[in-house]
Amino acid sequence: MGTSANAVKTQVWTALIAMLVLKYLQLKSKFSWSLSNLAALLRQQLFFYRDLYVWLDDPYQAPPALVGLHDNAQLSLAITW
């Protein structure tokens, strides 16, 4: 993060693009998001694997379970003495 004219222009353009993407997602969703809530919750949801458009329309639904995460074959160890 510099303070030169080029660095400031880059930061302004980056912020404008981020706001444009957030506004697009807000208009695309069926849920009535405020822009600040969308930005805050989207930042939180980046840690979960889920379909973005499904989450935008129904944000209070639990994320889908990961299939095969606790597979029994993964837990068995073939150790012989």
Tens-place pLDDT, residues 47-80:
888 889 999 999 988 877 766 655 555 556 667 7
Q: Which residue has the tokens 């993060």?
A: 1
Q: Which domain holds residue 71?
A: 5-75
pLDDT for position 28: 93
- The reply to whether 81 falls in a domain is no
Higher pLDDT, 44 or 19: 19
- Tell me if 31 sits within 8 A of 59, measured CB to CB: yes
- The reply to whether 47 falls in a domain is yes
pTM for the model: 0.68
- The reply to whether 80 falls in a domain is no
Number of separate domains in the chain: 1
pLDDT band at 5 (very low <50, low <70, confident <90, very high): very high
pLDDT for position 41: 92
Q: How many Å apart are CA 45 and CA 52, to the nearest integer?
A: 9
- The reply to whether 65 falls in a domain is yes
Q: In the predicted model, is pLDDT for residue 14 greater than 90? A: yes
- The reply to whether 70 falls in a domain is yes
Q: How many Å apart are CA 13 and CA 21, to the nearest integer?
A: 12
